[in-house]
């Protein structure tokens, strides 16, 4: 074909990439170049065997096309079989089918871009494929596949489902993508996180973000005059079978979430009511401590496929029950029970509720009972673990259970936002672990891309999902940290800072009193103050205000929940940054005040010494 001729045709498109090549090249350039020669030596006869054509080399990445999908898949499997014994030749392979444009020997087009994005989802030693490829080989019994996800791919408008080949003994997704989650290896926070760079942004990404969820849904401490009344939903008691605690907790948290959507009803955050689950206090004492007008309490009995829920709404004014009911239904009708509880509470509180508020209150997060049950288990298990036990789970099955539950939730209901947010969190954790444990830049970059895709997909489905909104701010920060080697490289661009400000403003508009949101905002404004083109006179004031709000709210929560490790970490960070800031600004009195507040609280609490020896 003459060099100027352009041809369009349908083809199977394959991308390959060597995981960890960038890090290897930085350590030993000669060894890295020898590895490229070794790759070409092994791959060339295999590609020819399956009628493949090499179109392009980009560093360690290669682009091939094949006349049929079957040829491409068989070739990908054989490549992984032949290279798995070669040191450092750790390949990822992605395959897609689509129309390509051939020009001057290169393959171009949207489907080529899709194939390159799919490759990032392949485990090392594995083969990732698109749904088009999966459909073509689904009738061939020799190939087995596993669904991975339907992420939003960068630069791709169409929906692309991604699968991985699981037959022929090649690496499956579970064996690689999340394997480092179960390594019992402690992480050096000081060395890798607290190194002296632009201070606050780096430290924000410290240990506290390994386990973000306990920091979420902490809104309170706002002007009570904006509310018609206030309510605390106590965690429902589980009758008979403690193994069903997750179900009772999930029901409680869903009711709290729903009622919190009513603008003129102040609902006590779950972190502030969690401590009463194990305390034997009267409702009157609890309502006085929480300073609320009403309390909702309940009991749940789950027996096989049936549930019985007793609920009572109690007024603090005269300690009378103003509404109670018993629901006895199939467990799959849990959403109807939630609807009826929320609606009855709204009606019996005698407050004026806007139509949109009521619609939001009755909006169900999912239509699948199984997906809801799985998410309740994941949340309950997370909340029962301290930070280090969560990170360093002792058995592989223990870690895999989380991912299996989340993946099944998405399969049951692909429009359920919460599982995508949690997959984003777990994938982010894995990316950090890989980066700091093995230094594999390519692998951690791929996982960060996956984590970002999950968070964006969660936000698309629920634009108020707090975990996803938070991760959408944190992930770009971490990407910056992992790819920079000097302070100059780390310095954010004006565009990056403006984007982070936009995201934190969205988060704060829905969760104005979240310690995490305010801590993030403080970090962003500190970064902005160091960018000459866009810095403003008020940036440092905004930094200070945000950190003070995070400090005060964290301290308030800790009085309710003194063993909340991550809130303590937020309190610690706020103290460190405020004290350092005041000292550098010669505000010795303010620095002394903040330090004394922290030390006074710490005398009653030994958690800090265990987290930060």
Any idea where the domains of the chain sit in the sequence? 6-176, 229-351
Q: How far is CA 402 from CA 163, 375, 434, 455, in A?
A: 19, 9, 19, 17
- Taking every pair of Cα atoms in the chain, the longest distance, rounded to a whole number of angstroms, is 91
Torsion of CA 331, 333, 338, 339, to 10 degrees: -170
Give the C-alpha separation, 263 to 490, whole Å.
40
Six-digit token pair at 430? 């894995």
Least Cα distance to 573 among 585, 555, 592 occurs for 555
Q: What is the DSSP letter of 262?
A: S
Q: What local confidence, expressed as pLDDT, does residue 70 receive?
A: 94
3-state SS class at 41: helix
Q: Do domains 6-176 and 229-351 have the same CATH topology?
A: no
Q: Lowest-confidence range among 237-246, 264-273, 444-453? A: 237-246
Q: Which pLDDT belongs to residue 284?
A: 82
Q: Identify the residue with better confidence: 365 or 42.
A: 42
Residue 75's pLDDT is 95
Phi, psi at residue 162, to the nearest 5°?
Answer: -115, 135
Highest average pLDDT, of 365-369, 426-430, 510-514, comes from 365-369
Q: Is the pLDDT of residue 197 over 80?
A: no
Residues 177-192 have a mean pLDDT of: 30
- C-alpha distances out from residue 462 to 343, 413, 421, 438, 535, Å: 22, 14, 10, 35, 33
In this structure, whether the domain defined by 229-351 belongs to CATH 3.40.50.10070 is answered with yes
Report the alpha-carbon distance of residue 291 to residue 287 in Å, rounded: 6
**C-beta atoms surrounding 277 within 10 Å:** 14
Give helix then strand counts, H and E, for the chain. 26, 14
Question: Taking the CA of residue 204 as centre, how many other CA atoms within 13 Å lie in the half-sphere pointing to its CB?
Answer: 29
pLDDT digits 0-9 by tens, 530-569: 777 788 888 888 888 888 888 888 877 776 566 565 577 6
Write down the pLDDT at residue 601.
66
Q: Pick the more confident residue, 311 or 395.
A: 311
pLDDT band at 72 (very low <50, low <70, confident <90, very high): very high
Out of 75-89, 343-357, 436-450, pick the least confident. Answer: 436-450
pLDDT, residue 195, reads: 33
259, with CB counted inside 10 A (0-12, 13-18, 19+), is buried
Output the average pLDDT for the chain: 75
- Half-sphere exposure at residue 514, Cβ-oriented, CA atoms within 13 angstroms: 25
pLDDT at 236 over 70: yes
SS3 at position 551 = helix
| Contact status, residue 309 vs residue 255, Cβ threshold 8 Å | no
Identify the pLDDT of residue 12.
92
Q: For the whole model, what pTM was predicted? A: 0.57
Query: What is the separation, in whole angstroms, between the first and last Cα of the chain?
Result: 68
Please tell me the predicted confidence (pLDDT) of residue 190.
29
Radius of gyration of the chain (CA): 27
Q: Tokens representing 105?
A: 């020997």
Q: Is 316 helix (H, G, I), strand (E, B) or coil?
A: coil
The CA distance from 574 to 545, in Å, is 11
Q: Higher model confidence: residue 90 or residue 224?
A: 90
Question: Domain 6-176 carries which CATH code?
Answer: 3.30.70.1230
Q: Determine the Cα–Cα distance for residues 434 and 185; give it in Å rounded to an integer.
A: 11
Confidence class of residue 183 from pLDDT cuts 50, 70 and 90?
A: very low
Percent of the chain scoring above 90 in pLDDT = 10
pLDDT score of 481 more than 50 = yes
pLDDT over 70, % of the chain: 75
Under 8 Å between Cβ of 528 and 541: no
pLDDT score for 610: 39
């Amino acid at each position: 074909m003459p060099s100027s001729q352009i041809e369009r045709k349908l083809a199977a498109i394959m991308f390959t990439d060597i995981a960890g090549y960038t890090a290897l090249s930085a350590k030993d350039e000669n060894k890295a170049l020898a590895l490229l020669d070794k790759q070409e030596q092994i791959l060339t006869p295999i590609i020819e065997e399956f009628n493949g054509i090499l179109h392009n080399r980009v560093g360690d990445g290669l682009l091939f096309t094949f006349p049929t999908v079957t040829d491409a898949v068989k070739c990908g499997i054989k490549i992984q079989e032949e290279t798995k014994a070669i040191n450092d030749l750790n390949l990822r392979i992605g395959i897609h089918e689509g129309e390509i444009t051939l020009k001057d020997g290169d393959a171009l087009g949207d489907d080529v871009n899709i194939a390159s994005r799919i490759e990032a989802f392949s485990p090392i030693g594995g083969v990732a494929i698109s749904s088009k490829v999966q459909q073509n080989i689904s009738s061939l019994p020799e190939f087995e596949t596993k669904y991975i996800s339907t992420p939003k791919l960068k630069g791709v408008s169409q929906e692309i489902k991604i699968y991985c080949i699981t037959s022929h003994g090649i690496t499956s997704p579970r064996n690689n993508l999340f394997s480092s989650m179960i390594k019992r290896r402690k992480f050096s926070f000081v060395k890798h996180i607290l190194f002296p760079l632009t201070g606050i942004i780096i430290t924000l990404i410290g240990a506290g973000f390994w386990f973000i969820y306990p920091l979420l849904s902490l809104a309170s401490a706002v002007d009570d005059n904006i509310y018609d009344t206030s309510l605390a939903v106590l965690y429902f008691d589980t009758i008979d079978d403690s193994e069903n605690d997750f179900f009772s907790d999930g029901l409680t948290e869903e009711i709290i979430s729903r009622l919190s959507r009513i603008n003129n009803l102040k609902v006590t955050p779950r972190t502030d009511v969690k401590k009463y689950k194990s305390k034997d206090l009267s409702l009157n004492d609890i309502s006085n401590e929480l300073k609320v007008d009403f309390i909702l309490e309940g009991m749940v009995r789950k027996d096989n496929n049936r549930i019985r829920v007793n609920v009572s709404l109690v007024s603090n004014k005269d300690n009378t029950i103003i509404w109670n009911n018993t629901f006895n239904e199939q467990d799959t009708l849990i959403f109807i029970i939630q609807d009826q509880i929320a609606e009855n509470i709204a009606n019996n509180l005698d407050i004026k509720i806007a139509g949109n508020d009521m619609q939001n209150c009755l909006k169900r997060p999912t239509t699948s009972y199984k997906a809801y049950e799985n998410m309740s288990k994941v949340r309950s298990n997370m909340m029962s673990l301290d930070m280090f036990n969560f990170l360093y789970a002792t058995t592989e099955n223990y870690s895999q259970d989380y991912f299996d539950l989340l993946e099944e939730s998405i399969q049951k209901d692909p429009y359920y936002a919460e599982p995508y947010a949690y997959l984003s969190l777990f994938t982010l954790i894995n990316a950090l672990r890989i980066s700091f444990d093995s230094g594999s830049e390519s692998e951690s970059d791929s996982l960060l891309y996956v984590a970002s895709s999950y968070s964006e997909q969660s936000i698309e489905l629920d634009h108020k999902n707090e975990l996803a909104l938070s991760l959408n701010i944190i992930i770009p920060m971490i990407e910056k940290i992992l790819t920079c080697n000097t302070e100059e490289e780390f310095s954010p661009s004006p565009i990056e800072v403006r984007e982070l400000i936009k995201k934190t403003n969205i988060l704060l508009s829905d969760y104005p009193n979240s310690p995490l949101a305010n801590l993030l905002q403080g970090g962003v404004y500190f970064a902005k103050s160091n960018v000459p083109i866009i810095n403003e006179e008020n940036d440092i004031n905004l930094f200070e205000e945000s950190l003070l709000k995070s400090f005060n709210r964290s301290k308030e929560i800790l009085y309710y929940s003194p063993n909340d490790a991550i809130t303590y970490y937020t309190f610690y960070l706020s103290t460190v940054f405020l004290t350092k800031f005041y000292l550098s600004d010669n505000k010795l009195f303010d620095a002394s005040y903040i330090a004394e507040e922290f030390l006074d609280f710490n005398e009653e609490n030994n958690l800090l010494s265990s987290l930060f020896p």
